[in-house]
Amino acid sequence: MTIALDHTTTQNFGEAISREWLETNGLGGWASSTIANIHTRRYHGLLVAATRPPVGRVVLLSKLEETLVWRGGRHALGGNVYPGAVQPQGYRHLSAFSRDLFPSFTYAVDGIRLEKRVAGIHGENTTVIDYRLHEAPGPLQLELRPFVAGRDYHALTHANREICLSSAFDGDIWIYRAYPQLPTLYLLAPGASFTAQPDWYYNFEYLADKQRGQDFQEDLFTPGVFTLALAPGERASVITSTSPPHGKSAVALLAAEKARRERLTTSLPEVSTVRSAQSVLRELTLAADQFIVRRGGSQRTIIAGYHWFTDWGRDTMIALPGLTLVTGRFEVARDILETFVAAMDQGMLPNRFPDSGETPEYNTVDATLWFFVAAYKYFQYSGDRRFLQATLLPAMAEMIDWHRRGTRYGIRMASDGLLTAGEPGVQLTWMDVKIGDWVVTPRHGKAVEINALWYNAVTIYAHLLSADGQPEAAAEFHTLAAAIQKRFIDVFWHRPEGYLFDVVTEGQPDPAIRPNQIFALSLPFPLLGRNRARQVLKTVETHLLTPMGLRSLSPRDPAYQARYQGDGRARDAAYHQGTVWAWLLGPYLTALVRVRGKTGRRQGMQRMAAVGDHFARAGIGQVSEIFDGDPPHAPRGCVAQAWSVAEILRAYVEDLLDAGPPGHDGRQDQRGSG
């Protein structure tokens, strides 16, 4: 599937800066900008390196600004926003943008047609920029001016006297270190000459940051300019890296990366009925690859989203099946599960690993419970009995033991078998915004999805014990699971309205209509019979369903927020109060198929059209984190979110395409009459 945008988009300033491309490197770093190559975020850059994978991110090379020089004429291809001006306006020469395996930019001006491709190289803090001069009246020069930021990716830089003014060469390799505490920046441009012109450029403005109520002005340093001679039909390539590129070929790196990405799609299920369905599957699989990264030397983990998230326990466990199992990457899944089991403490997985290597944070009630789902699906797909016995079952036993007797933050099994959690000032569920001392959606007590997960954790443990030949041990947990299911219906079923309460706090139920109830239908072991499941699904569709996901709160609720916009406080206040979450489309699709069978599968396939359309918006080839609650449901938040991609991909393969592992639960309709 090639995503192609013509000049009506690329030469429209507003449209061009609202679409972003992203090239990741498997370490937590990236290259990224808008399709106009006008930076709108502090996170944009041509080489954003992860110095302690997947963290320690620094923006080293902000951009290479290109200028075509022909017979004394100059055509700038780049662009920047300054106070009151856009200069230069190279996007006016951008005749097309496309993305297949890599983002590609085609510039056309005065009989010249130049194509540029950008590639992040897997396993390295390296970006390749490849230029091809397809047409020109004659030989010309391509000038490349590097702009250096030299800063943490969350920060902004301003003109200062500490930056290094000089650079060096080793053969064709340009060597520059902006500040002593930063990695050295290398740039290989074979055949280029370099003219030193050290200078500061002032007041770059980042419009997306401005809209988000953040600081948005920055100064960037340029050490000079490279000049390359190009004739029609010729190709010139640049390598920029934190490692010396001695003996490396940009063409070879690009070819190897192309082959690696093509291999990712070879094990996908064949969708012979609808060509567009195969294209969407391929696009989601390529998108999934961007979130799988190294942690430290040999461990692997999942980046929650680009551009500002690192690896979070909850996001990782939710995303693991879609990113690694339906794509056939079982070894990666095992590595990720091992990474998080090694960080387990008091029966809990960490909520996140901080950027600077501090002690992991454990303020989450559901990351550990999602581990059971991820581990169960891993065993379903892989049949890896050795890993089950050596790692998964011992970890699960410890987790359940801690949850039954009590662990951090008041997380414990209550006397009725349900799981309760919460302390004042602490946010533990996925609806976890905290503004100062204000927990926006505290959800203390017995939350509906937490108890659906708790039931699944106990049931999964029982099933895996049975699979390991321990039927007597399994019987205890089957009995506990049955008691949890019965009590779940007694506590959460809102009999007059026919849906599930969101949370029950000290015996008081919260009737807010939220999407959390969908998990009682979508998890591997549903809790509701057919009649109740139909009512819950209808409630969700009536109040929460949008083309790209589920609202976090019904529009009929007085607390509903229609738009996710404004400064940080305004956005945080709306985050779980009506904002649409794309990752919830996955559980909805699973529930849809379970409740309605073949009819639900047809309805789900129709809904995938919106996902295909979204690939050309916001993050090109990616799925955004969130959307406005009200139409037209503008994309917001991260332009690339792991669980958004993962859950849509998982449900697409397992439920809509019916291509899950043997015995996959999504093949059966919901049973029972309760």
CA distances from 233 to 27, 33, 132 (A): 35, 27, 7
Question: Would you state the pLDDT for residue 673?
Answer: 37
Helix (H) or strand (E) holding 236: strand 235-241
Distance of CA 638 to the CA centre of its chain: 7
Residue 355 has pLDDT above 80, yes or no: no
The amino acid sitting at 247 is G
In the chain, what is the straight-line distance between the N-terminal and C-terminal CA atoms, in Å?
44
pLDDT tens, 114-162? 999 999 999 999 999 999 999 999 999 999 999 999 999 999 999 999 9
Angle between helix axes 275-289 and 642-651 (nearest 10 degrees) is 140
**Span 365-371, mean pLDDT?**
98
CA 494 to CA 536: how far, in whole Å? Answer: 10
DSSP 91: G
SS3 273: coil
Beta partners for residue 126, in sequence order: 241
Residues near 102 by beta carbon (within 8 Å), at least 6 away in sequence: 23, 117, 118, 119, 254, 258
Number of neighbours of residue 125 by Cβ within 10 angstroms: 26
Query: What domains are there in the chain, each with its CATH number?
Result: 3-261 (2.70.98), 282-667 (1.50.10.10)
426 pLDDT tier (thresholds 50, 70, 90)? confident
Model-level pTM greater than 0.85? yes
**Span 406-428, mean pLDDT?**
95
pLDDT tens, 604-646? 999 999 999 999 999 999 999 999 999 999 999 999 999 999 9
SS3 562: coil
Length of the chain: 674
